[in-house]
Structures are given as structure tokens and as C-alpha cells.
Amino acid sequence: MSLNPNEWRPTRKQATFLALPTWIKEATLGGGAGSGKTDVLLLYAIVRKWHLNSRFKQVFLRRTSPELKREVMPRSRDIYRKFGATFNQTDMVWTFPREDQFGTGTSTKTGGRNEGAMIFLGHCENEDDVHIYDSMEINLFTPEELTTLTEYIYLYIGFERTRSPLGSGLPAIIRSAAVSGGIGHSWVRQRFVKPYEELGHPLNPDDNIIIEGRGGNKRFYIHATAIDNEYLDPDYVKSLQALPEAEKRAKLYGDWDAYLGQVFEEFRDRKYPDEPDEALHVIEPFEIPSWWPRIFVIDWGYSALTYVGFAAISPYRRVYIYRELYWRKTKIEEWGAYVKPYIQKEQPKLIRVCKSAGQNRGEDHTIQQQIETALESPVELTANSPGSRLATKALLHEYLRWKSKHVPVADEIARIYSEERALWILRNRGIIEYKAYLNSFNSVEPERLPKLQIFNTCNVLTEAIKAASYDKKKSTGKAAEDVAEYDGDDPYDVVRYTVDAADRFMEDAKEEMAKAEKQEQLLASLQKTQDFTSFYMNMRRIESNPTSKSISRYHNRRRQ
């Protein structure tokens, strides 16, 4: 895109985007950074000459007002003033002159005001803000940074408020722009990108195809990146090329699968060449040994999603989420019938459900009691104490960590064995501390990272983690720390509860974990020796040795 005082020339991708027929209801120019999306949306009506129709209305939307003022206002000023438009700061609207006002400056008949086409610079930070546009009849809806919006905001304004006035010759369409990332990443990818992938169609073709949705609604996606923008500063492209592989694929190539979550940037659902083997959280399924402790976690809802995550804990303190089940608008007794057989077969040590299930809602039984009846098993409530959201978020970061912790040089020096110090401890502190000092120099088992991995069959959970973004409105002027609530965040809550439950279990049930580790070692020995007799004898010996009573609270009890 070239923009100077005298001309504007679109890139090839922008030209394709501008030329789409109006019978295509939705179209998105999406992908990477630097594709010129702001300018093409600001100039869309100008290029199509709709600004000459006094009945035309466009809403250019960003999520927040500061984004408009910092990024969009300066660009719109450079463009629209050249066409005689005037700006109303209060209503955030550019108004173009009517046909009879062109060339006259401002009309004295209208008190110096233009009365033609209108382009509103709007924002919609919360879903309730959509009602700001209830009285409007929008011809062109142009949300930029689409992935910062919820699907509800997009659908409400885009389908409820877009209208074509009878006899006006004006459209009723949506033209948007998007890059990967943000709370809307999952739904934007599902709506515009995934249909091409399912058809085996490349994302950067010259012959894009039209996707037909419900009611015959037509959708179109054009993949554009900085590489497609011949007018972009070459130094900017070089800066994108220098990024780490995952971030480069997201920002330079617009790879929707390389999305770096705004909150959990360490999350990896694929392997990148410049990162270690540990940098992988989504893996191929494998058969989980029967002796690994299991935990089931439920986030219930009727109108919202009911989501059940199934987790297993390896003897080496790694948590695997190996199955997910979910329902919408499904009664407890209905989805409970699906979950109960897994409980009977896999005997989880703990079933945990969101604390809100214990609230008294004026019914004969709480949700917790109803779930216990449906599952025929006791369930524990999550500990949603003040600060627990941030605490479990921090714990999830730790479980997703794939970089080894740095060991300061001073600590390494301190670990050098000293015979003199050892004898001093023996003389002055006793035999127990002396042995503890000696044991501190035993070889330490290296960290097994990451501590959390997810089977690639759990797609809903994977997308929920990637969609998590910071809740800026609760930051009160400080850097945002908490995750914003978003449609489909139930699996995120489940994974928080899961790592918390697993972490507590591993701390409280050390004997249980030690027993599982011995069983794991026996299995490894069997694979080497093929001595089945020894394997079964030792396995029976381990299983017949009862573990401490301190972990009895984790075992399921049939509800009487």
C-alpha cells in the first residue's frame, strides 16, 4: 500500500479484498503483521465511492477507545480530510459533504456542517457495549484486530445492525482484518481459516474459494502478511525475520497454528526447530499405565459449557490430560451418565468440581449433591479463595515451563564438598545433619519438563489455553495479571483446578507416588529382561503393601 498526498495504491492482496462483490457478506484480510489492514479498511468506502452517497454509514471498530485515538485517528485524519470530511470529536464520526456541498467548503445552509456519508470510529470493550449501535443502520461494518473481539460482539453488530436502506444501492456487509492472537483467536480461526484447512486448500492461493455458512451466508478469507506488502519498510520485515521461530511464524507468516498466547506464551502445540524437545505440550496419545493416579475435574454449567478433564499423574511428577468431554445445555443426569462408567473403570483418586456447585440456590439439593448422585461418587469442591485465580494461574505457568531454572554461580560454589565442613557438622550438629550434608551431594534427578502435557485429542482445551488473554479492565492502572473471562474459558478453569489438585495430591500422597514409581521401574526392567515371572512376583509384592492412611481421603467411596 502506497499512501502519499496525491495517490494510494493497494497491494495485490488489498486489491483482491477491495474487489470482492457485495453478495459476499463477510470477508477478512488476515494473517501476519504489516499487511496494511488499517488503511484498507479506512479506504474501503472511498475506493468503492460509497462516501458519495449521503445515506451511507460505516462503523470502523476497535476494542478500546485508546486504540482508536493512538492508532486510527491519525491515519483517518490524513485520509478523510482530503475528501472534505469533517470530524465530530464527541460522536467520533467523520461526515462527508453531500453531492451539492462538494467544492463549497462547508455549507452555509447547514450551519457549516457536512450532511453526507458518515464513518464512525467506534469501540466495543464489553459485550454490553453492543447496544450503543442499536439505533444505527450500518452499511459497512469494519472491525479491525478482529481477534480482540468476542464472537458475540462480531455477530451482534455485523448481523443485527447491518442494513441496506431500500433503494439506496448501498451494501450491508462486513469487511474485517485479523492477526493471530487475542481472546478471539479460536472463533476467528474456526470461522474463517479452518474451513480452508478442512478442504485441503492452501492459505495463500491466487484462487481463494468462497465458504458458504448457515442460511447461504458467504464468507471469504484472504491470507496476507508483511511479505505481501511491497510498500512496507524492509527493515520491519527483517526485524520479524529475526524473531524466535514460533513468534516469527505467527507474526511474519501469519501461521494461525503458531499462535503465541497472550498469557501463556510458553505454550507449544507444535515443535519448532530452534527450541528443545521439552518445548512441547500437546502430544500423541499413549496407553496410560493402570497404576498411575488419576484425577477428574469438572466445570459445570447449563447455558455455558460443562467440561470434564481427565488427568493422570506419572511417577515422575508429570501430569497428562488424556481425555476431555463437554456438553452445552445438557442436564447433570444426562452428562453424568457418560462420566460414571469412566469413574467405575479408572477409579480416580479425586473428583473435583468448581466451588460454585456448593452454593445453595433455593433447591432441595445443591449442584454438588446432584452431581454426586449422578456419578454415584463423592466430589470435592475447588478452593476458590481470594487470590486463588492468580495462584493457580502462576502454578499453571510453572507446569507449562519448558526452560530449566537458572542455577546461580554462588549456589554451584556452595555445593563443592568440604571434608572439613563435614567433620565440623558431625562434631557440632550430630549424625543426622552430617548424613544430610553428605546426601545433599547425591546426584539430583534432572527436571522432567514440561510438567504438564495434553493429548492432541483434547482440542477444546488446547484452544482455550491459546485464547487466554489478560483482563485489562481489572488491572486498576497496574500491569494486568489475571486472565479475562471469555466465551469458552471453562476448559481453562479446569486445567487450573487440575494442576492445583495434582500438585496437592503429589505433596500429600508421597507414598502413593513412590509406589507408582517402583511399578514404573519394574515395567522398564521387564522391557529389558523379558523376565515375566520376576515382574509379576515383584508387582504383586508392591500391590500387597498398603500405602499410608494419610492418603485415604483421595480414594473414591461409593455414595450410600
Strands (E) in 182-339, as ranges, are 211-212, 218-224, 282-283, 294-299, 305-313, 319-328
Question: Which of 419, 439, 459 marks a domain boundary?
Answer: 439
Looking at the predicted structure, is the pLDDT value of residue 210 above 50? Answer: yes
Backbone angles phi, psi at 171, to 5 degrees: -85, 180
Q: For the chain, first and last CA: distance in Å?
A: 72
Looking at the fold, whether 340 and 206 belong to one and the same domain comes out as: no
- Say which residue, 152 or 198, is predicted with more confidence: 152
Mean of all residue pLDDT scores within the chain: 84
d(CA 460, CA 467): 11
**Rounded to 5 degrees, what angle do the CA atoms 553, 557, 560 make?**
135
Same domain, 220 and 340: no
Burial 264-293 (b: 16+ CB within 10 A, else e): bebbbbeebeebeeebbbbeeeeebeebbb
pLDDT band at 415 (very low <50, low <70, confident <90, very high): low
**Rounded to an integer, what distance in angstroms lies between the CA atom of residue 280 and that of residue 260?**
13
Distance, in Å, from the CA atom of 489 to the CA atom of 452, rounded to the nearest integer, reads: 18
- Distance between CA 143 and CA 121 in Å, rounded? 10
Where helices occur in 48-150 by DSSP H, the ranges are 65-67, 73-80
Picking from 203, 226, 249, the residue at the C-terminal end of a domain is: 226
Beta strands at 319-328 and 452-455: parallel, antiparallel or unpaired? parallel
Is a pLDDT exceeding 50 seen at residue 3? no
Amino acid at 286: F
The predicted structure's pLDDT at residue 411: 53
CA distance 532 to 253: 53
Residues in CB range of 547: below 8 A, 6 or more apart? 509, 511, 512, 515
- Residue 248 counted as domain residue: no
The cell 503393601 sits on which residue?
545
CA dist 161 and 140 (Å) reads 10
Q: What burial letters (b/e) apply to 369-400, b meaning 16+ CB within 10 Å?
A: ebbbebbebebbbbeeeeebbeebbebbeebb
Residues contacting 519, CB < 8 A, separation 6+? 289, 291, 315, 539, 542
User: Helices (DSSP H) in 144-277: which residue ranges?
Assistant: 151-155, 185-188, 194-198, 234-241, 245-251
Average pLDDT on 291-313 reads 93
For 480-497, b/e burial (b = at least 16 CB within 10 A) is beebbebbbbbbbbbbbb
Whether residue 195 lies inside any domain: the answer is: yes
Examine the domain organization and report whether 315 and 421 are in the same domain.
Answer: no
Q: Which of 1-5, 17-21, 298-302, 416-420 has the lowest mean pLDDT?
A: 1-5
Is residue 320 domain-resident? Answer: yes
One domain for residues 46 and 114: yes
* Shared-domain flag, residues 332 and 198: no
In a domain, 559, yes or no: no
Q: pLDDT at position 522, please?
A: 75
Model confidence over 161-181: pLDDT tens digits? Answer: 999 988 888 999 999 999 887
Structural domain count of the chain: 3
Residue 387: pLDDT band (50, 70, 90) is confident
The rounded distance, in Å, linking the Cα atoms of 293 and 517 is 11
306 in any annotated domain = yes
Q: Name, in order, each residue with C-beta under 8 angstroms of 31's C-beta and a sequence gap of 6 or more.
A: 179, 180, 203, 223, 224, 225, 253, 254
Select from 226, 248, 266 the last residue of a domain.
226
User: Sorting pLDDT into bands at 50, 70 and 90, what band is 555?
Assistant: very low
Q: Is the pLDDT of residue 346 over 90?
A: yes
Q: Are residues 418 and 394 in the same domain?
A: no
Specify whether the CB–CB gap between 183 and 467 falls below 8 A. yes
Residue 483 counted as domain residue: yes
Find out whether 297 and 311 touch, Cβ atoms under 8 Å.
yes
Same domain, 200 and 328: no
Q: What is the C-alpha separation between 353 and 307, in angstroms, rounded?
A: 10
What pLDDT was estimated at residue 295? 97
HSE, side-chain direction, 13 A CA sphere, residue 300 = 29
Does one domain contain both 332 and 422? Answer: no
Q: 319, 325, 475, 476: which is closest to 398 by C-alpha?
A: 319
Type and span of the H or E element at 372 = helix 367-375
CATH of the domain at 70: 3.40.50.300
- Between strands 173-179 and 140-143, the pairing is parallel
Say if residue 220 is in the same domain as residue 311. no
Nearest to 373 by CA among 319, 413, 337, 406: 337
Q: What is the CATH number of the domain that holds 542?
A: 3.30.420.280
211 and 73 in one domain? yes
Sheet holding 86-88, edge to edge: 86-88, 93-95, 118-123, 57-62, 140-143, 173-179, 26-31, 218-224, 211-212
Q: Is the pLDDT of residue 435 over 90?
A: no
Q: Give CA–CA dist 472/289, Å, rounded.
A: 43
Instruction: Identify any residues that bridge with 222 across adjacent strands, giving them in sequence order.
Output: 29
Q: Which helix (H) or strand (E) holds 391?
A: helix 388-400
106-141, pLDDT tens digit by residue? 544 545 688 899 999 999 988 899 999 999 999 999
Let me know whether 209 and 349 are in one domain. Answer: no
Q: Give a yes or no: residue 207 inside a domain.
A: yes
Please give the average per-residue pLDDT across 251-264, as a whole number: 76
Quote the domain boundaries for residue 431. Answer: 409-439
d(CA 316, CA 35): 46
Average pLDDT over residues 291-309: 92
* Residue 129 maps to a domain: yes
Same domain, 490 and 428: no
Q: Return the pLDDT at 261.
A: 55
Given this model, what pLDDT does residue 554 score? 43
